[in-house]
Amino acid sequence: MTTTPTVTTGPLPASTKVFRPGEIHSDIRVPMRQIALHPSAGEPPVTVYDSSGPYTDPGAEIAIERGLPRPRDSWIMARGDVESYDGRHVKPEDNGFVSGDRLTPEFPIRHRPLRAQGDRAVTQLAYARAGIVTPEMEFVAIRENLGRKAIREKLARDGESFGAAVPDFVTPEFVRDEVACGRAIIPANINHPELEPMAIGRNFLVKINANIGNSAVTSSMAEEVEKMVWAIRWGADTVMDLSTGRNIHNIREWIIRNSPVPIGTVPLYQALEKVGGMAEELSWEVFRDTLIEQAEQGVDYFTIHAGLRLPHIPLTVDRVTGIVSRGGSIMAKWCLHHHRESFLYEHFEEICDICRAYDVSFSLGDGLRPGSIADANDAAQFAELETLGELTRIAWARDCQVMIEGPGHVPMHKIKENMDKQLAICGEAPFYTLGPLTTDIAPGYDHITSGIGAAMIGWFGTAMLCYVTPKEHLGLPDRDDVKTGVITYKIAAHAADLAKGHPAARTRDDALSRARFEFRWEDQFNLSLDPDTARAFHDQTLPKEAHKLAHFCSMCGPKFCSMRISHDIRAEAQKEGMAAMARKYREGGDLYIPAPQEA
C-alpha cells in the first residue's frame, strides 16, 4: 500500500474534548465534548456525550494504517483470565477469493488474538454477576453522567418512563447491577481494545446504530473506514458492518482497528459468501468458522438469526411482503431446502460458548420482522419473539450478553405492543429496533417515516435505535445519507430521552433555547446536532457576519420578531413590576381580569 487514506478529523465548532478520570480505575479517560458559549451568555460550557473517538481530538495523531491506541489492553490483561494464541489464518474464501490488485491489502499490523483461558467466561455479564466493577463499567458510568452530578439539584424530573428506572446519577455499581441482571449490555470484545466502552440498556441514554458496508459492486476499504468515522462524528454509538461483497475480511479488520465504537456484524452474510451465495450450501461448520474468524478480529456483537425456526416459516406465506430480513430469508431457505430445523437454533449453545470466550454480545436477529404495515405484529413475528425469549435465557445461563432485535414496519398504534411483549418475553434484555417505519408510502423519506416510530419506541423503552437512511428500499447510502440518517436518529433518541424524563437530557435544549431567545446565533448553531447545516441555512438568507449579532432573524425581519418583542415586554414588565401584576392577577383583582362580557 502506497497511499494512506485520509479520514475526517478535527473538532466540531466551539467544541473541546475533555477527559474525566476514573475513581476506582484511575487510568481510564472518559471523553466528553464541551461546547463553549459566548461570554455574554454567562453560562458554563455544555457537556455532551461524545462517540466520535480520537478523530475529533486535535491532540490525537491519526494514521489509519496504525489503528487507534489500545487502552483496554491493560484492563483485559489485568483480569488474568485470557490467553493469546496464533489464531485462525486468513483463508482465500474470507475475502471472496479475490487476489492481486483486487485484494484489499491486509491491515499492516497483526495483533495476536486473545481468548478465554479454558472454559472461563470473560464477559462483562460474568464479571458483573461476580460483583466486579470493571474499568468498562466505570467508564460507562462516567460517560452516561455528563456532569449530571453538578446539575442534579437544579433539575426536577419530568417525564413518563413506562417502568424504566433511570437514576438521578449513574454510579459504577448501578452499571454493574444493570449488566448483571441482563437489562444492559456493554458490547466489548476482548480483541477490540481500541474501544471506548458504552452501554445499551433501557436505564441509560438511548443509543443509535449506523450501518455501513460494501456490497457486490461498490466501496473500498478507505471508503468504509471513512464512513465509520463520519457516522460516529455525527453521533453513531455503534456501527454495523453489513458488507456482503468481496474483501470482507480485510475491510473489517481496517474498520475495527480504527473504531472507538462497538462494531456489529451479521456473520451469516460472510458465511453465505463463502459458499458462493447458495443458502442451501451453508453448514454449521462454515458458520462456526466464521464466528471464530470475526471474534478474533474483535467484532463486539453478532446478529444471530437463531429465533427463526422451521415451524415459523408457514406463518409467513400469506404475508404481503414475506420475509424481508436478509438473514431471515437465508435461514428460511436453508430450513426449507433441507427440511430441517435451523442449524443456528440447534447449535445455539455452541454459539454461546464462542461468544463467552471473547465477550461477543448477542444481537438476536428478528428474521421474521414485518416488511410492511400489513404484516406488523403478526403471528410469524411474535412466534419468533417467543423463541428469542427462550434463547435469551440460554445465553444468560452461559454468561453471554444479549440484546434483541425488533421491527421493522409498524403503524403507530401497534408500536407499544412490540415493546411490552419484548420486555415480558425477553426478561428486559435490551431492545434494538430498526425504526420502525410508520407507513410504507414514502420511499426516499424513510429516515422520517422511521424516525417517528424510533422516537416513540425509544420513549417506550427501546435501548438502541438502528438508523434508516433516505436511501432505504432504493439504493446504497452515500456520505450525505449516512449523516442524514445519523442526525435523524439522534433526534429520535434525544426526543425519547426527554420524554422518559432523563435527568439531564433537557440541559442542551434549554441552553439552545436560551441562546435562541437571546439572539446568540453562534451559540445556537454550536449547540445544535448539526452546526454546519444550521449555519449554512441561516447564511443562505442572511449571509453577513453582522447578522449573527442581529437581534432578529430572517423569517420575520427586525420589526416583527416575536422574540425581540418578548424582550421589550420583559423590560417593560420589570419597569412596571410584573410581579405585582401577577400577584394581583392571582388574587383575582379585577384590574387584570375584566369580567366576562359573554354569558
What residues numbered 147-206 form the site for a copy of itself, per CB under 8 A? 159-160
- Choose one: 103-111, 165-173, 423-431, 474-482; the region binding a copy of itself (CB under 8 A): 474-482
- How big is the chain by its Cα radius of gyration, in Å? 26
Q: Is 355 annotated among the ligand-binding residues?
A: no
Report whether 518 belongs to an annotated binding site: no
500 phi, psi to nearest 5 deg: -70, -20
DSSP string, 2-24: --------SPPTTEEEEEEE-SS
Q: Which of 34, 220, 283, 321 binds a copy of itself (CB under 8 A)?
A: 321
Q: Is 393 annotated as a binding residue?
A: no
Whether 258 has a binding-site annotation, put simply, is no
Minimum Å distance from CB 303 to a copy of itself? 14
Comparing CB distances to a copy of itself, the nearer of 77 and 383 is 383
Q: Name the phi and psi angles at 431, rounded to 5.
A: -100, 145
Residue whose cell numbers read 462494531 = 263
Looking at the Cβ atoms of 115 and 483, the one nearer to a copy of itself is: 483
Minimum CB distance to a copy of itself smaller for 193 or for 245: 245
In the complex, the smallest distance separating the C-beta of residue 63 from a copy of itself, rounded to whole angstroms, is 32
Residue 427 contacts by C-beta under 8 Å, 6 or more apart in sequence? 182, 389, 392, 393, 396
- When asked if residue 491 is in the footprint of a copy of itself (CB under 8 A), the reply is yes
Q: What are the residues whose beta carbons fall under 8 Å from the beta carbon of 206, sequence distance 6 or more?
A: 458, 462, 463, 464, 465, 492, 493, 494, 496, 497, 500
CB nearer to a copy of itself: give 25 or 506: 506
Q: Which of residues 515-544 bind a copy of itself (CB under 8 A)?
A: 516-517, 524-525, 527-530, 533-534, 536-538, 540-542
Please measure the distance between the N-terminal and C-terminal CA atoms of the chain and give it in whole angstroms. 86
551 annotated to a ligand binding site: no
For residue 28, which amino acid is it?
A: I
Choosing from 260, 471, 482, 504, the residue that interacts with a copy of itself (CB under 8 A) is 471
- Indicate the residue among 104 and 524 with the shorter CB distance to a copy of itself: 524
- Say if residue 553 carries a ligand binding annotation: yes
Q: Do the annotations mark residue 181 as ligand-binding?
A: no
Site pattern 236..275 for a copy of itself (x: CB under 8 A): --------xx-----------------------x--x---
Query: Which amino acid, 276?
Result: G
Instruction: By CB under 8 A, tell whether 135 contacts a copy of itself.
Output: no
Residue 363 β-bridge partners: 303, 403
Cα separation, 171 vs 482, in Å, equals: 34
Given candidates 59, 156, 559, 587, which one binds a copy of itself under the rule CB under 8 A? Answer: 559
- CA dihedral of residues 367, 368, 370, 376 (deg, nearest 10): -140
Q: Which is nearer to a copy of itself, 195 or 496 (CB)?
A: 496
Using CB under 8 A, which residues numbered 44 to 83 contact a copy of itself? none
CB of 274 to a copy of itself, least distance (A): 12
Specify the residue, 60 or 569, whose C-beta has the smaller distance to a copy of itself.
Answer: 569
Q: How far apart are CA 526 and CA 547, in angstroms?
A: 16
# binding residues, a copy of itself (CB under 8 A): 136
Near a copy of itself in 411-470, by CB under 8 A: 411-413, 438-445, 447-449, 451-452, 455-456, 459, 470
Distance, C-alpha 357 to centroid of its chain: 24
Question: How many CB atoms are located within 10 Å of the residue 414 CB?
Answer: 17
Residue 80 known to bind ligand:
no
Q: Is 85 in the site for a copy of itself (CB under 8 A)?
A: no
Sign of CA dihedral 464, 469, 474, 480: negative
Q: Three-state SS for 465? A: strand
Cβ closest to a copy of itself, residue 41 vs residue 442: 442
Helix axes 379-397, 348-358, angle to 10 degrees: 50
C-beta of 201 vs 370, nearer to a copy of itself: 370
How far is residue 471's CA from residue 465's CA, in Å, rounded to a whole number?
A: 17
Whether the CB-CB separation of 221 and 227 falls below 8 Å is answered with no
Beta-strand relationship, 207-212 and 200-201: unpaired
Is 16 a residue that touches a copy of itself (CB under 8 A)? no
Of the ranges 289-297, 300-308, 322-330, 426-434, which one interacts with a copy of itself (CB under 8 A)? 322-330
Structure-block grid coordinates of residue 211: 450501518
**269 is an annotated ligand-binding site residue:** yes
Residue 495: CB atoms within 10 Å: 19
User: Between residues 288 and 538, which has the closer beta carbon with respect to a copy of itself?
Assistant: 538
Residue tagged 480505575 (cell numbers): 25
Q: Is 189 annotated as a binding residue?
A: no
Does 371 bind a copy of itself (CB under 8 A)? Our answer is: yes
Strands 207-212 and 238-241: parallel
The annotation places the binding site for substrate at 211, 240, 269, 305, 325-327, 366-369, 405, 432
The annotation places the binding site at 211, 240, 269, 305, 325-327, 366-369, 405, 409, 432, 473, 553, 556, 561
The annotation places the binding site for Zn(2+) at 409, 473
